[in-house]
């Protein structure tokens, strides 16, 4: 068979694999649709028709209100995608290449930072559309450049996150009677920082702090700072700032824009706001302290999202610790001993409820379901062994409670399209007790001690209230009815008292409803917040979740109803939002991915081939729903006058996921004479099978590659008495590839590295004439990594990596593997190209110094934290997060025949600074020194961007 028909046949096969198929999102069984409004195209999968129509109406209403406020409208329809494949609430928006919004259907959890809303979809839409209008504001020289190369230059995107997110939070609140601007949780976060003396400065809000609440800091501080600016200069100031900054050819001059539009720099404005805030907190603290603050005893001191207190039958207190230092675990507090002990490590974490006998618990956790979804389900947790048994499959259930019979379970569940219900599981099966009306959301159902009623929290447009469901009659009645957010209902053992948390005073406190007399009493008076009440079996102690600047913790206090005072008759003061809902219905049609798959940019690229510099163009595209993507780079060597190209295409609508590629370029011949060059051309097909479960990830990859080696003229110089260098054979290599991978490596929020677990990958490559080529070679490669947490110091870890491969045959006398050091890297160029170095190398030797048909490599690193930095220079786009060090030893060799005597060792060390660069890139800068101790060893300094293995 000739070489050319082989390539043509494989090209035809690639087109067959990549021909259009019915569109779906991850799950191939789903159909996709689109609807068009005057200013938007909304694409969604089946099951979301009603929600997509409502989203379209919300988007048009937001356009009507936000465009005048921000003074800008996109030139084209904004692409919007609505999906429901996860139980995590979120959304995103961009103006890069095209204005685009992605919306997730599920409402946020009960105590999420997003929990303050009348209609969650409205707040989500106004937040994300604000991003589009802000980022899409491009003028001046950047707009001229974009007209030539595509919308790549987004000046307003090169701003601190506190301005980008703060503006969106401001507008989400300005167009509603809720939003994070008014959130009692956000007020609590900020108040605790002031009270505890841990206030985040402007450099922290410009960066990505390691301290709680971490990624929420830009939203929190940005929203409050911009609220101060709007109150002082008027909200039209944001329109002027966006227009000015969006037209600047010189980026990062945010203070120059502030001075021009506001008369002060952001640093000066921040100090003004901070002074006002501190005065307000001091006055509030004095007023609350005058009433007498609640005295409680802290049980935990770990912070973050620690909580979920539950009493065992013997009176001991079980709670969940989840603080970013390790995997979530249950802790046991013994009030008799006054001590906290480790109890049980968890795989995943979520709300849980104890069985009456205290031997098991029902826990909810989000894990992969049916390959394509991340859904929350219920599991029975054996508290002795730690084993978990699935109770529901794809039920999307959360916040469970277990009845006194130990068999009845109630929970809230998401029923799709943004709707929720209360469900019951017992010996007769699973059924819904109550489906919330559209635009309502139910939370935290709790069974009464006699099993006859369920108390729960229900979000309605006018507020969140505690309600009671009578199980016999199905009747639902209000226990509270106000604008406040009332949440976390819990019965005392007698069933007389129903405790709950409420922000009716602007501060979350605990309250108690007397189910016999009907009165409501205030239980706590705190400066920050109180949540999740739990009463001990003997009714003598009350546990609850409290808050400080380090996050949430568990506290206890006496349960003394006789000392409670009647709750003041007060309610949150919130403006009545302007009505936006309409009855408009927009026509729908099948989703057409090709409409958004065409290229949106043409970007020059600068590179090199073996003869010198090369110049080219890069382009690509993906449809808005992410079903297909492709990229193409092509160009010409300026000295070689030889063309090159690299084309890749992929799809995301089948299982396995399919991709293909084709490329052609000039390459140096490994092991050949100096200056030896050849042209390599490839055509490849790939199928990947990703799978994850709990904290495990698995993957399998099947690939087929044709690689053609063609000669290219080069000047050969042979010394008269020297050996004649070999010239590899030209021809076609056809290779089948099988790859397998597994990982349960764990890195926690406060860690500098993975600290536990291992990963393993195996790759088998078979180059055979029977597959259509000229060469015969087979190789197998294995890579194993192990991470061990050291017991003597927090976040000290030993990282071990062993890799090796061996092969038989050759690729026309070409060696199969090469090995060597990292070499000197330019971190700025790495950042601009989003290129990282993994640190997997034989450091202390020249890059690619050794080659052969086998290799072995061991990397051993001891990693340790040095300095939790957490600072940056003012508003400069650089934030230093944490400095760490590593001492390493590498040993390896690549040759046709490996022997222990020829193994080449090296030693060295690295300083690694985790940084937030350019307001958007979180990475590591690594400065290292290595000394090769074997033959060919060198002393090398290197600078690289990216993490180690």
Q: Using the 8-state DSSP alphabet, how is residue 684 labeled?
A: E
Query: 616 CB contacts (<8 Å, ≥6 apart)?
Result: 604, 605, 607, 633, 634, 635, 636, 644
Please report, for residues 129, 243, 459, the alpha-carbon distance to residue 70 in angstroms, rounded to integers and kept in the order given. Answer: 11, 9, 31
Reported as a single tens digit per residue, the pLDDT across 897-944 is 998 989 999 999 999 999 999 898 899 999 999 999 999 999 999 888
Indicate if the pLDDT at residue 55 is higher than 90.
yes
Quick one: pLDDT band at residue 848, thresholds 50, 70, 90? confident
Indicate if the pLDDT at residue 608 is higher than 60.
yes
- Confidence (pLDDT) at 336: 85
Structure tokens at 152: 């790549």
Structure tokens at 163: 């301005």
- Confidence (pLDDT) at 816: 81
What is the DSSP secondary-structure string of 556-620? Answer: EEE--GGG-EEPPS-----PPPPP--------EEE--GGGGTS----EEEEEEETTEEEEEEEEE
Phi, psi of 175 (to 5 degrees): -100, 15
Quick one: pLDDT band at residue 720, thresholds 50, 70, 90? low
Phi, psi of 726 (to 5 degrees): -80, 150
Lowest-pLDDT range, 27-36, 829-838, 885-894?
Answer: 829-838
Reported as a single tens digit per residue, the pLDDT across 171-187 is 999 999 999 999 999 99
Q: pTM of this prediction?
A: 0.92
Query: 649 CB contacts (<8 Å, ≥6 apart)?
Result: 18, 628, 629, 630, 659, 660, 661
Q: Rounded to the nearest 5 degrees, what angle is found at the Cα of 377, between the Cα atoms of 357 and 313? A: 15
Torsion of CA 148, 151, 152, 156, to 10 degrees: 130
- Confidence (pLDDT) at 865: 97
Give the relative orientation of helices 49-70 and 120-135 as an angle to the nearest 10 degrees: 50
Quick one: pLDDT band at residue 812, thresholds 50, 70, 90? confident
Indicate if the pLDDT at residue 830 is higher than 90.
no
Please report, for residues 213, 278, 491, 508, the alpha-carbon distance to residue 526 in angstroms, rounded to integers and kept in the order given. Answer: 20, 18, 21, 8
* Average pLDDT for the chain: 91
Indicate if the pLDDT at residue 455 is higher than 50.
yes
- Confidence (pLDDT) at 241: 97
Pairing of strands 409-416, 397-402: antiparallel
- Confidence (pLDDT) at 13: 31
């Amino acid at each position: 068979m000739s070489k050319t028909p082989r390539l043509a046949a494989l090209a035809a096969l690639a087109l067959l694999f990549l021909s259009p198929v019915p569109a779906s999102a991850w799950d191939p069984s789903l159909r996709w649709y689109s609807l068009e409004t005057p200013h938007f195209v909304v694409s969604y999968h089946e099951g979301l028709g009603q929600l997509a129509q409502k989203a379209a109406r919300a988007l048009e209403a937001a356009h009507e209100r936000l465009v005048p406020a921000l003074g800008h409208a996109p030139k084209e329809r904004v692409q919007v995608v609505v999906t429901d494949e996860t139980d995590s609430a979120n959304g995103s928006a961009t103006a890069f290449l095209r204005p685009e919004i992605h919306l997730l259907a599920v409402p946020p959890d009960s105590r999420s930072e997003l929990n303050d809303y009348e209609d969650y979809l409205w707040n989500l839409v106004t937040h994300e559309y604000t991003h589009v209008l802000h980022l899409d504001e491009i003028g001046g020289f950047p707009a001229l450049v974009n007209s030539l190369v595509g919308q790549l230059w987004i000046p307003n995107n090169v701003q601190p996150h506190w301005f980008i997110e703060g503006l969106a939070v401001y507008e989400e609140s300005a167009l509603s009677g809720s939003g994070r601007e008014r959130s009692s949780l956000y007020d609590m976060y900020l108040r605790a920082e002031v009270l505890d003396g841990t206030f985040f400065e402007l450099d922290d809000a410009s960066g990505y702090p390691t301290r709680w609440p971490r990624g929420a800091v830009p939203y929190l501080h940005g929203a409050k700072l911009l609220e101060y600016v709007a109150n002082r200069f008027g909200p039209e100031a944001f329109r002027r700032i966006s227009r000015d900054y969006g037209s600047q050819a010189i980026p990062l001059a945010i203070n120059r824009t502030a001075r021009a539009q506001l008369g002060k720099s952001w640093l000066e404005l921040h100090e003004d706001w901070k002074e006002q805030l501190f005065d307000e907190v001091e006055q509030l603290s004095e007023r609350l302290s005058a009433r007498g603050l609640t005295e409680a005893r802290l049980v935990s001191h770990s912070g973050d999202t620690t909580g979920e207190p539950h009493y065992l039958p013997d009176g001991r207190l079980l709670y969940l610790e989840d603080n970013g230092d390790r995997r979530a675990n249950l802790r046991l507090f013994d009030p008799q001993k006054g001590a906290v002990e480790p109890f049980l490590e968890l795989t995943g974490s979520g709300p849980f409820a104890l069985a009456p006998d205290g031997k098991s618990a029902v826990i909810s956790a989000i894990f992969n379901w049916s390959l394509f979804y991340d859904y929350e389900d219920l599991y029975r947790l054996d508290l002795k062994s730690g084993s978990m048994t699935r109770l529901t499959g794809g039920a999307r259930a959360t916040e469970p409670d277990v009845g006194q019979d130990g068999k009845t379970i109630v929970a809230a569940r998401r029923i799709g399209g943004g709707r929720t219900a209360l469900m019951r599981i017992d010996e007769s099966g699973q059924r819904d007790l109550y489906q919330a009306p559209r635009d309502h959301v139910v939370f935290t159902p709790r069974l009464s001690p006699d099993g006859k009623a369920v108390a729960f929290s229900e979000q309605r447009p006018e507020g969140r209230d505690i309600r009671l469901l009578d199980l016999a009659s199905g009747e639902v009645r209000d226990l509270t009815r106000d604008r406040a957010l009332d949440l976390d209902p819990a019965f005392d053992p007698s069933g007389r008292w129903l405790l709950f948390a409420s922000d009716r005073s602007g501060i979350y406190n605990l309250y108690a409803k007397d189910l016999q007399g009907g009165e409501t009493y205030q239980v706590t008076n705190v400066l920050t917040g109180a949540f999740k009440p739990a009463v001990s079996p003997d009714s003598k102690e009350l546990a609850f979740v409290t808050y400080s600047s380090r996050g949430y913790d568990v506290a206890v206090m006496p349960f003394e109803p006789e000392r409670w005072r009647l709750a003041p008759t007060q309610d949150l003061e919130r403006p009545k939002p302007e009505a936006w809902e309409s009855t408009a219905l927009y026509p729908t049609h099948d989703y057409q991915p090709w409409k958004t798959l065409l290229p949106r940019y043409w970007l020059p690229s600068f590179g090199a081939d073996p003869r010198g510099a090369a110049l080219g163009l890069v382009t690509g595209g993906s449809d808005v729903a992410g079903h297909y993507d492709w990229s193409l780079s092509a160009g010409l060597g300026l000295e070689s006058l030889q063309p090159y190209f690299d084309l890749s295409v992929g799809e995301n609508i089948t299982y396995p996921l399919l991709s293909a590629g084709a490329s052609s370029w000039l390459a140096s011949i490994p092991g050949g004479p100096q200056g030896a060059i050849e042209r390599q051309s490839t055509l490849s097909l790939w199928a990947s099978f990703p799978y994850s479960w709990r904290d495990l990830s698995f993957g399998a990859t099947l690939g087929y590659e044709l690689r053609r080696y063609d000669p290219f003229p080069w000047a050969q110089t042979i010394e008269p008495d020297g050996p004649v260098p070999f010239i590899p054979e030209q021809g076609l290599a056809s290779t089948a590839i099988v790859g397998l991978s597994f990982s349960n490596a764990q890195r926690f929020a406060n860690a500098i590295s993975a600290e536990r677990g291992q990963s393993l990958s195996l790759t088998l490559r078979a180059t055979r004439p029977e597959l259509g080529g000229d060469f015969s070679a087979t190789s197998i490669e294995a890579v194993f990594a192990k991470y061990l947490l050291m017991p003597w110091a927090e976040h000290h870890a030993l990282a071990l990596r062993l890799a090796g491969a061996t092969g038989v045959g050759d690729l026309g006398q070409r060696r199969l593997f090469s090995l060597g050091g990292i070499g000197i890297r330019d971190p700025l160029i790495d950042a601009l190209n989003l290129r990282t170095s993994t640190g997997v190398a034989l450091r202390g030797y020249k890059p690619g110094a050794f080659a052969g048909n086998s290799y072995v490599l061991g990397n051993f690193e001891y990693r340790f934290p040095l300095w939790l930095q957490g600072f940056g220079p003012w508003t400069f786009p650089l934030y230093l997060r944490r400095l760490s060090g590593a001492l390493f030893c590498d040993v390896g060799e690549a040759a046709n025949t490996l022997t222990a005597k020829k193994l080449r060792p090296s030693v060295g060390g690295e300083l690694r600074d985790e940084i937030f660069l350019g307001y958007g890139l979180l990475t590591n800068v690594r400065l290292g020194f290595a000394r090769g101790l074997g033959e060919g060893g060198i002393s090398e300094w290197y600078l690289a961007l990216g993490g180690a293995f």
